[in-house]
Chain A
């Protein structure tokens, strides 16, 4: 029990990460994949933020008169700063992914992976019609 409760943040991180990862891999809809990617990234953000917590620690802001009490424990602010950067990167990735989806929808008329694969394999068959079906394809 101690093993489970003591590492609660890690368990939540693993569960959330696996949910996100599963959505990315198993869903055929491009938007759902992006949602999964966001869940996946959010799990990492939470993981980082949770490791910044120090038992009994308070917000890491020094008093303005700089009279620092050596007995006060401060939480670690560094992971938060790192994650601020990672969140911004995550937003950029999400918006770029959605922008690509908009373009894909305009060009292909669908955002379902299996339908797009079908269209692409048709295109490929046309390209290779002179030489017979080729290996490889969209990999």
Chain B
């Protein structure tokens, strides 16, 4: 190394990509050091709020197409690890940290109710590590670093899910199943990265994109692509690879379900997007075949099969979990169409579905707290006893269906628009038809809540304000982003542009 290294002095603003990760990462062990559950909650909330502010600021910086690049340890890419923030990841970071900031006030009462007191500190520590991992997956520009952060978030997720064992012992087997499948997925991803490294000799995503541009016929690269898609597909719960999801979401503590449903699969979808459209170019013939003949049919299958299964569930949590699988189908469909509009639709749906599912799972968490169960047979007539909670559920449900005026409508409308532009009118029909299936399962819950008489002797009452408020913030966000689409539409189209590198229209 040269003797006189001139060190540039960086301001706090330049450090933002790192600080977003570092703040929750440091807050996690601090929780354990202090060992007090109130301090732990405070630290979790504070660091999540800071991460939210940081990512909001970054989103404003990159919304006009700029790219922030941060060199970890002063090692310049492609050798060093680079944190690279453009509109696509800034938007996903904004979603993840925003959801976490709203979920944590809700978590306080819900966690106190569902998890025994000694475990609270460790719960918040694991939560923060999971949060760090998800943010890290999104922010990093280094392919292997994605794996490391992915495993940080996954390992803490397994622990968080297993904490549901106090309510139902099946949480343990659900966590175990997820551990096996999640590890297989992550290992597949590493194999894929290894193949790309053999072929190109680099791990930096931007550098990979340049070197892969004229290697479309290379078998190693094709195998690497397949491994990455399957590995990340497992994490994102693409339809036939979704088997871990319903159990994990059903038996995890309510807060964990809210957080995971709104963020974890979204981070995996983002990685898929990044690899499919930034690292590999869409004109890579092998990829186009994959998109048309594998990804699209699976997406359509997910939309119908998972919605149909959801309609037959008796447990509201499991019902919503299957609905999540179906909604992932819409996002994958946007990827499969591979046009700029469809990518915007995917990114918007990522965001809108995140807030929608957050409302719905928060409501179910409130039911678990007051009724002690999320089975429809125990929820009779709660509409009268918990009016605010149930209204939030209706708003969330409408957004899930995609009724005009809610966030869900915007993303589905964009998706239909994209399929019409691609001259696939039958696809647009299928999207509308699968939305009708969503009506079936949402109505099933609404009917129980409003049309049935309350059970005799039921004394359920409204949940405390600290849980109602986050629920309603999300519900209002569902309506707000359905009426005012400035933020989401602009971010999504800039994000789609930066993913595609401005190449394909």
In the complex, are the beta carbons of B179 and A51 less than 8 A apart? no
A33 to B178, CA, bound (A): 13
Q: Which residues of A contact B173 (CB under 8 A)?
A: 104, 108, 116, 120, 138
Q: Is A114 an interface residue (CB 8 A)?
A: no
Assuming the contacts A48-B194, A101-B176, A123-B170, asked whether A134 and B312 have C-beta atoms less than 8 A apart, the reply is yes
**Chief secondary structure at chain B's binding surface:** helix
In the complex, are the beta carbons of B183 and A41 less than 8 A apart? yes
Query: When each residue 13-54 of chain A gets 1 if its CB lies under 8 Å from chain B and 0 otherwise, what string results?
Result: 000000001001000001001000100110010011001000
A47 to B190, CA, bound (A): 11
Least CB distance from B368 to A in Å reads 14
Q: Is A136 an interface residue (CB 8 A)?
A: yes
Residue in B151, B322, B377 whose CB lies within 8 Å of A136 = B322
Q: Which residue of A lies closest to B150 (CB)?
A: A89
Chain B contacts with A in 35-57, Cβ cutoff 8 A:
none
In the complex, are the beta carbons of B155 and A93 less than 8 A apart? yes
Q: Is A73 an interface residue (CB 8 A)?
A: no
In the complex, are the beta carbons of A127 and B197 less than 8 A apart? no
Residue in A44, A85, A92, A97 whose CB lies within 8 Å of B176 = A97
In the complex, are the beta carbons of B175 and A24 less than 8 A apart? no
Q: Is A82 an interface residue (CB 8 A)?
A: yes
A24 to B148, CA, bound (A): 23
Q: Which residues of A contact B183 (CB under 8 A)?
A: 37, 41, 93
A48 to B196, CA, bound (A): 12
Q: Is B313 an interface residue (CB 8 A)?
A: yes
A116 to B177, CA, bound (A): 12
A127 to B247, CA, bound (A): 15
In the complex, are the beta carbons of B312 and A100 less than 8 A apart? no
In the complex, are the beta carbons of A51 and B247 less than 8 A apart? no
Q: Is A131 an interface residue (CB 8 A)?
A: yes
Query: When each residue 98-119 of chain A gets 1 if its CB lies under 8 Å from chain B and 0 otherwise, what string results?
Result: 0011011001100000001000
A47 to B195, CA, bound (A): 10
Least CB distance from B58 to A in Å reads 26
Q: Which residue of A lies closest to B243 (CB)?
A: A139
Assuming the contacts A40-B187, A104-B172, A127-B315, asked whether A96 and B165 have C-beta atoms less than 8 A apart, the reply is no
Query: When each residue 127-139 of chain A gets 1 if its CB lies under 8 Å from chain B and 0 otherwise, what string results?
Result: 1101100111011
In the complex, are the beta carbons of A100 and B162 less than 8 A apart? yes
Query: When each residue 317-346 of chain B gets 1 if its CB lies under 8 Å from chain A and 0 otherwise, what string results?
Result: 010001000000000000000000000000
A86 to B144, CA, bound (A): 10
Q: Which residues of B contact A128 (CB under 8 A)?
A: 314
Residue in B184, B309, B312, B314 whose CB lies within 8 Å of A37 = B184
In the complex, are the beta carbons of A103 and B172 less than 8 A apart? yes
Chain B contacts with A in 113-165, Cβ cutoff 8 A:
144, 147-148, 151, 155, 158-159, 162, 165
A128 to B377, CA, bound (A): 9
Assuming the contacts A92-B155, A136-B246, asked whether A103 and B309 have C-beta atoms less than 8 A apart, the reply is no
Q: Which residues of B contact A131 (CB under 8 A)?
A: 314, 377
Q: Which residues of B contact A136 (CB under 8 A)?
A: 246, 309, 312-313, 318, 322
Q: How many A-B residue pairs have C-beta atoms within 8 angstroms? Tell me.
A: 95
A107 to B166, CA, bound (A): 11
A116 to B172, CA, bound (A): 11
In the complex, are the beta carbons of A130 and B172 less than 8 A apart? no
Q: Which residues of B contact A48 (CB under 8 A)?
A: 190, 194
In the complex, are the beta carbons of A96 and B247 less than 8 A apart? no
Q: Which residue of B lies closest to A93 (CB)?
A: B183
Assuming the contacts A37-B183, A41-B183, A127-B314, asked whether A96 and B148 have C-beta atoms less than 8 A apart, the reply is no
A33 to B184, CA, bound (A): 11
Chain B contacts with A in 179-225, Cβ cutoff 8 A:
179-180, 183-184, 186-187, 190-191, 194, 197-198
Q: Which residues of B contact A85 (CB under 8 A)?
A: 144, 148
Q: Is B289 an interface residue (CB 8 A)?
A: no
Residue in B170, B186, B243, B313 whose CB lies within 8 Å of A135 = B313
A44 to B191, CA, bound (A): 7
Q: Is B91 an interface residue (CB 8 A)?
A: no
Assuming the contacts A41-B187, A103-B172, A139-B247, asked whether A96 and B179 have C-beta atoms less than 8 A apart, the reply is yes
Q: Which residues of A contact B243 (CB under 8 A)?
A: 139
Residue in B151, B190, B377 whose CB lies within 8 Å of A44 = B190
A30 to B179, CA, bound (A): 11
Q: Which residues of A contact B309 (CB under 8 A)?
A: 135-136
Least CB distance from A20 to B in Å reads 9
A48 to B179, CA, bound (A): 23
Q: Which residues of B contact A130 (CB under 8 A)?
A: 377
In the complex, are the beta carbons of A100 and B179 less than 8 A apart? yes
In the complex, are the beta carbons of A100 and B148 less than 8 A apart? no
In the complex, are the beta carbons of A47 and B184 less than 8 A apart? no
Beyond known contacts A37-B180, A100-B179: 15 more, CB 8 A cutoff: A41-B183, A44-B187, A44-B194, A47-B194, A51-B198, A79-B194, A89-B155, A108-B169, A127-B375, A130-B377, A134-B312, A134-B313, A134-B314, A136-B309, A136-B318
A-B contact pairs, 16 of them (CB 8 A): A37-B180, A44-B194, A48-B190, A48-B194, A51-B194, A85-B144, A97-B176, A97-B179, A97-B180, A100-B172, A104-B173, A107-B165, A108-B169, A127-B375, A136-B246, A136-B312
Chain B residues proximal to chain A, CB less than 8 Å: 144, 147-148, 151, 155, 158-159, 162, 165, 169-170, 172-173, 175-176, 179-180, 183-184, 186-187, 190-191, 194, 197-198, 243, 246-247, 309, 312-315, 318, 322, 375, 377
Sorted from nearest, which 3 A-B pairs have the closest CB atoms?
A135-B312, A107-B169, A89-B151
